[in-house]
């Protein structure tokens, strides 16, 4: 794993941790629902950043596209848990 890949993984983990903490503060609205929406928003933002940077979809290193897909999957997982 290259230094750029480690940076991308650390960025994803830190963002996921911060968004999860924010969702926990909104427990009255349902933390799972809020987390799913925040992860979906993070996915959209990462896709916009990837478009603006011109990141290729298939690259040998981790890009913002990979982070967007990871957040999209995490959003789907939290939505599935929320719905039961």
Question: Of 25, 20, 63, 13, which Cα lies nearest the Cα of 38?
Answer: 20
User: pLDDT band at 83, cuts 50/70/90?
Assistant: confident
Rounded-to-integer distance, Cα 2 and Cα 66, Å: 15
Rounded-to-integer distance, Cα 43 and Cα 45, Å: 5
Looking up tokens 């427990």 gives: 27
User: pLDDT band at 14, cuts 50/70/90?
Assistant: very high
With a cut of 90, say whether residue 46 has pLDDT above it: yes
Rounded-to-integer distance, Cα 22 and Cα 83, Å: 20
User: What is the structure's pLDDT at 10?
Assistant: 95
With a cut of 90, say whether residue 9 has pLDDT above it: yes
User: What is the structure's pLDDT at 26?
Assistant: 82
With a cut of 90, say whether residue 54 has pLDDT above it: yes
Rounded-to-integer distance, Cα 64 and Cα 58, Å: 11
């Amino acid at each position: 794993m290259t230094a750029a890949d480690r940076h991308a993984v650390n960025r994803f983990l830190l963002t996921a941790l911060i968004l999860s903490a924010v969702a926990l503060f909104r427990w009255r609205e349902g933390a799972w629902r809020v987390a799913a929406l925040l992860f979906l928003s993070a996915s959209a933002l990462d896709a916009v950043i990837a478009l603006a940077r011109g990141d290729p979809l298939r690259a040998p290193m981790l890009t913002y596209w990979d982070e967007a897909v990871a957040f999209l999957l995490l959003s789907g997982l939290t939505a599935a848990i929320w719905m039961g």
